Amino acid sequence: MDASSYPTRDESSLRYDGWRIVVVCFLLATFGWGLGFYGQSVYVAELQRLRGWPASLISSGTTFFYLFGAALVAFVSEAIRAFGPRNCLIAGTLAMAAAAVAIGEVREPWQLYLANAVLAFGWAGTSLSIITNTLGLWFDKKRGMAISLALNGASFGGIAGVPLLVAGIGYFGFSGAMIAAAVLTVVVMLPVILIFVGRPPAHLHHVTAAAADAPSATQTRARALRDIGFLSISIAFALVLFAQVGFIVHLIAFLDQVIGRERATAAMAALTAMAVIGRVLFSFVIDRFNQRLASALSFVSQAIALVVIINLRSDVALIAACALFGFSVGNVITLPSLIVQREFAPTAFGVLISLITAINQITYAFGPGVIGLLRDASGSYTLPFYGCIGLELIAAVTIMMRGSSPDGAKRNPGTLPG
């Protein structure tokens, strides 16, 4: 039965159709982050082992994936408007599966870039932008909770996806494991998308109808980039994600020298677990909070955690600090969409979220590399991690710069004066 044939219910009801879409997006995020984001660490290690290529060559393919993916993510809202959420989710799923197979068959460096290009299409169709845009078609009042719950799939993709990939490689070999991952992606995702993802509910048709009559996406993006409120969101979260992604990528390498690999792994596990806990707890209250203030406090808490990590050597203190850092990791992904929903017109939501996601991805693509360069230049992680603290604190100040809107009304970048 198509989801659109179910009777429309209030968003607060557990029987509301939109919660089925949350489950779909949770599964989508699991595969998207498992194969697209966290899987990159597995691909780099395995291709280096199998082909003997320099780490810099393989890592450049990862950077290409992030940058090309960012260019695609910026246009997700237009794709959903043109083809509908169901077709876009199916296309993203198939592209992710095709990319998984292609990565397992890489024999030459040019093939790595081609596989990462396909993976970028899969990432655009399974990650943050398409999930927030899709849920925005089903939720208004409970959008914050819906997005938060769905994006727990991203954390689950890291917790379960990487170990399963590694185990699969040990059993089937790299090529066989990637084929198995592709088959599993298609077998799980296609039926749930076809069964549950239909037309948005009637009580939100006014939003989608208004979006079709809104100024062009190009005009909306151009005006948004001159709006202080939008720029403060984009810049603040770009800085934080640069620091967050860079820190997490280098965390094991740093802690391995301080407390050993076993405890370093425990610290990473604590960080990941707290990301899930933090996102779930926030999902029940974040719609009632000052979301800019909640963002600033999250940034400051990460800065405090980094100070502890840099200066203390106690196992317990370091694991606790990683847990504190992780508490806001998931919410840093969720909060931009909630702030945009609260402060900007509904017709601009999809375009603005896609634009913010693209800006963030372009920025954090360079985080691991810059931190690595600073570490090599200074001889330790102290300098780059203090740099991350500085970025977190700058972001905490920046996010509080809301700008102005007439009479407290929501701003529509498509109609701001030029």
Q: Which of 7-16, 22-31, 129-138, 293-302 has the lowest average pLDDT?
A: 7-16
Report, in angstroms and rounded to the nearest whole number, the Rg of the chain calculated over CA atoms.
21
Instruction: Place 16 in a pLDDT band, splitting at 50, 70 and 90.
Output: confident
Strand (E) or helix (H) holding 341? helix 329-343
Q: Shortest CA distance to 283 belongs to which of 153, 149, 151?
A: 149
pLDDT at 358: 87
Mean pLDDT of 374-396: 92
Please state which of the four CATH numbers 3.40.190.10, 1.20.1250.20, 3.30.360.10, 2.40.430.10 is assigned to the domain occupying 3-208: 1.20.1250.20
Mean pLDDT of 20-41: 90
Q: Shortest CA distance to 44 belongs to which of 36, 55, 32, 34?
A: 55
* Tens digits of residue pLDDT in 277-328: 888 888 777 777 788 999 999 999 999 999 999 998 888 999 999 999 999 8
Contact 112, 47 (CB under 8 A): yes
| Residues listed for the chain | 418
d(CA 341, CA 349): 6
Amino acid identity, residue 30?
A: T
Residues of the chain with CATH 1.20.1250.20: 3-208, 214-402
d(CA 142, CA 287): 7
Cα-Cα end-to-end distance for the chain: 47
Which is higher by pLDDT, 179 or 78?
A: 179
d(CA 334, CA 29): 13
- At residue 411, does pLDDT exceed 70? no
Amino acid identity, residue 404?
A: S
Q: Shortest CA distance to 362 belongs to which of 251, 272, 234?
A: 234
- At residue 63, does pLDDT exceed 90? no
Distances (CA, A) of 3 to 127, 148, 187, 216, 278: 22, 22, 19, 29, 30
∠ at Cα 318 (313, 322), nearest 5°?
A: 155
Those residues whose C-beta lies under 8 Å from the C-beta of residue 184, and which sit 6 or more positions away, are none
Q: How far is CA 143 from the centre of its chain?
A: 16
Q: Which of 7-16, 158-167, 309-318, 401-410 has the lowest average pLDDT?
A: 401-410
Mean pLDDT of 218-238: 88
* Tens digits of residue pLDDT in 138-164: 887 777 788 888 888 888 887 788 788
Q: What architecture does CATH give domain 214-402?
A: Up-down Bundle (1.20)
Helix (H, G, I), strand (E, B) or coil at 242: helix
Write down the mean pLDDT value for the chain.
Answer: 84
∠ at Cα 231 (278, 71), nearest 5°?
A: 85
Strands (E) across 207-296 are located at none
Phi, psi of 411 (to 5 degrees): -90, 145
Q: Dmax over Cα atoms in the chain, in whole Å?
A: 63
Q: Please classify residue 192 by burial: count the beta carbons closer than 10 Å to its beta carbon, then call 0-12 exposed, 13-18 middle and 19+ buried.
A: middle
